[in-house]
């Protein structure tokens, strides 16, 4: 089966890094965590939803990969970033144009990897309760399954407590 170009880009990126994860295009949308869980046959908590934020002063992209059931605490993320760099950070949700510019993907299909501009990535500690999780793969219908540990390796992400 031929994947859509954005999904193929994610598949090629994964394969080039030695991952055995396979991008799958689903017949139904996987845009929300609930829709993705239904399509993948897993718990909503097993969905690794990619959320792009930006640091206001520098336009630095921040990718948070959160469990599908968790809300991201933006203030906690800003504190984590400030602790890391020693500078107070003002974090804001990225708009659709910023997301597409830095990731190369539209909101609803942003994968945790294969970004146009590699972001600083934080991965929700709660995802490590599962052997595997499902993540977006470039389109609102494409997903791939991966272990949380492999996701850390692939994304260069840092495990963090990010939920409200």
CATH of the domain at 138: 3.90.960.10
153 has a pLDDT exceeding 80? yes
- Please say whether the dihedral angle defined by the alpha carbons of residues 22, 138, 103 and 36, taken in this order, is positive or negative: negative
Q: pLDDT tens for residues 46-77?
A: 999 999 999 998 999 999 999 999 999 999 99
Structure tokens at 77: 């993320």
**Which position has the higher pLDDT, 85 or 40?**
40
Give the total number of structural domains in the chain.
1
List pLDDT tens digits, range 75-110. 999 999 987 667 788 999 999 999 999 999 999 999
Average pLDDT, the chain: 95
Q: CA-CA distance, 83 to 72, in Å (whole number)?
A: 18
How far the first Cα of the chain sits from its last, in Å, is 40
Q: In whole angstroms, give the CA distance from residue 81 to residue 141.
A: 32
- Domain housing 49: 5-160
| 152 three-state secondary structure | helix
Asked whether 162 and 53 are in contact (CB, 8 A), the reply is no
């Amino acid at each position: 089966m031929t994947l859509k170009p954005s999904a193929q880009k994610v598949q090629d990126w994964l394969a080039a890094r030695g991952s055995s994860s396979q991008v799958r295009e689903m017949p139904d949308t996987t845009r929300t965590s609930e829709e993705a869980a239904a399509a993948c046959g897993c718990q909503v908590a097993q969905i690794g939803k990619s959320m792009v934020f930006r640091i206001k002063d520098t336009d630095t992209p921040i990718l948070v990969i959160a469990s599908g059931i968790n809300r991201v605490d933006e203030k906690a993320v800003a504190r984590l970033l400030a602790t890391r760099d020693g500078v107070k950070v003002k974090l804001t949700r990225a708009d659709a144009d910023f997301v597409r510019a830095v990731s190369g993907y539209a909101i609803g299909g942003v994968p945790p990897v294969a970004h146009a501009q590699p972001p600083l990535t934080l991965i929700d500690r709660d995802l490590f309760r599962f052997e595997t999780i499902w993540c977006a793969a470039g389109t609102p219908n494409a997903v791939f399954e991966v272990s949380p540990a492999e996701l850390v390796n692939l994304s260069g992400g840092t495990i963090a407590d990010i939920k409200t």
